[in-house]
Amino acid sequence: MTKADFLITRRKALKLGGLSVGLLAAPAFVRQGFSAEAPIKMGSLLDATGPLGLEGRRMIKATEYAVSQLNEKGGLLGRKIELKAFDTQSDIKLYTQYAQQLAMRDKVDVIQGGITSSSREAIRPIFDRTKTLYFYNTQYEGGVCDHNVFCTGTTPAQTVNHLVDYATKNWGKKTYIVAADYNYGHITADWMKKFVTANGGTVAGVDFLPLDVTNFSSTISRIQQAAPEFVLSALVGANHLGFYRQWDATGMKAKIPVGSTVFGLGDELQAMDVSTTDGIVTCYGFYPDLDTPAAKGFVSGLQKFIGEDAKDISELATATYDGVMLWAKAVEKAGSVEAAKVISALESGISIDAPGGKVTMDPKTHATIRPTYLAEPKNRKWEILATFADQYPADTGGRCDLVANPNTKTQFTPQF
């Protein structure tokens, strides 16, 4: 090849120029055929990689799935929805950085995302300042009370109390609590203690474990010495799954039953041994094995959208989907994407038929009233033990009233 072949001749340049003008113009024609207006911008902040990627990947797909469903129906208010998603890589620094980009540079109309409570607390003030509407869609410890923020995940009053009820009725009165050593674990452990004592039970001990602990032998010995009738776990993350393995390996699983507030939200049922997972009782707002048309439709629809036979579809995915759909309904009701108008629409008590059942936005707490379910794993499937209709987020509702005090911007922690 000679050097001349690399040079752009005038004729080539003209051809290239014509081609690129055509390409650039094409989307404009397409868009005009659909709508004259610019798309609605939705920001998404979720962890696709890093330690939380396991939870984040399904939430990301659920967000994309919800947006694609809305766009297939022609978008909202005649405008397409454009998703601006960032991978926050399980890093709080990136959360704040991308949150500022989305709110200030991209000026998105709504933000959906955040997985851990610490990430939510890092970005919530940013959106309060810029008055960007924010949806937090993870099962969490409850208490967020913020005019600008809507939380769709379940909270302890909707789930932990049922778990404790079941345990004190079927297993005994004496419990031992093991929990992750950060705000989620501490607050959830407080709720566990409250519910256990309310049911006439006692707490033999509480252990908080940092997220990097991998050896649980001393904890398991202490539990054995305390000899509780059941164990409640709010352990979080990949390292803590070792607790369930070691619990099984020491033969304790056959002796003392375990209830958990986090177990099974990731791919535990597929990745871990059946002997380890079976029988760990949980309570969430959604299970992929729910026998309702809405749940089955969501699971098969999302599986088709992802393009694989994914089994690990939990409340994390459906609450994310609910967050997008509640927002969409509010936008249609408000006839605008302006934050103030959408917030009043969300506060009008709107509800949607979600995969897990009817979900209503509570005006006072900006949390959802939704059904929850009690279930335990049996041979890599969830066996539903009980259904609780229309659960009110009483933990947050105890102290939060955004109708009376719309300027609240805080997270209440339980006081007993």
Partner 1 sequence: MEISGLIAFNIVTGIATLVLITIGLAVIYGMMRIINLAHGEFMMLGAYTAATAVEHGVNIWIALLILPPIVVALIGLVLERCVIRFLYGRMIDTMLATWGISLGLVGLITSIFGNVIHSVPTPVGGFNIGGYGASGYSLVLVAASVIALGGLYLLMRRTDFGLILRATMQNPRMAASLGIHPPTVFMSTFALGAGLAGFAGGLLSPISGVSPSMGAAYVARAFITVLGGGPAVIMGTGLASGLFGLINEIVSFLSTPVLGEVALLVAAIVLIRNLPNGITGRFFRSSL
Binding site for partner 1 (CB under 8 A): 49-51, 53-54, 57, 181, 207-210, 212-219, 221-222, 224-225, 238-239, 241-242, 245-246, 248-252, 255, 266-267, 271-273, 275-276
The nearest distance, CB 154 to partner 1, in angstroms, is 23
Q: Report CA 45 to chain centroid distance, whole Å.
A: 11
Choice between 18 and 210, CB closer to partner 1? 210
Note whether 90 and 51 are within 8 A (CB). yes
The nearest distance, CB 244 to partner 1, in angstroms, is 9
Two tokens, residue 14:
């003209």
Choice between 242 and 398, CB closer to partner 1? 242
SS3 label, residue 392: coil
Cα angle 287, 291, 295 (rounded to 5 degrees) comes to 55
Choice between 356 and 377, CB closer to partner 1? 377
What is the C-alpha to C-alpha distance for residues 328 and 386, in angstroms, rounded to an integer? 31
Choice between 20 and 225, CB closer to partner 1? 225
Choice between 192 and 223, CB closer to partner 1? 223
Question: Pick from 375, 372, 373: which is nearest to 390 by CA?
Answer: 372
The nearest distance, CB 248 to partner 1, in angstroms, is 7
Choice between 266 and 323, CB closer to partner 1? 266
Residue type, 262: V
The nearest distance, CB 255 to partner 1, in angstroms, is 7
Residue 255 per-residue DSSP state = T
What is the C-alpha to C-alpha distance for residues 306 and 296, in angstroms, rounded to an integer? 15
The nearest distance, CB 268 to partner 1, in angstroms, is 8
Q: 416 pairs with which residues across the strands?
A: none
SS3 label, residue 338: coil
The nearest distance, CB 174 to partner 1, in angstroms, is 16
Residues in the chain, overall count: 416
Two tokens, residue 228:
């509780």
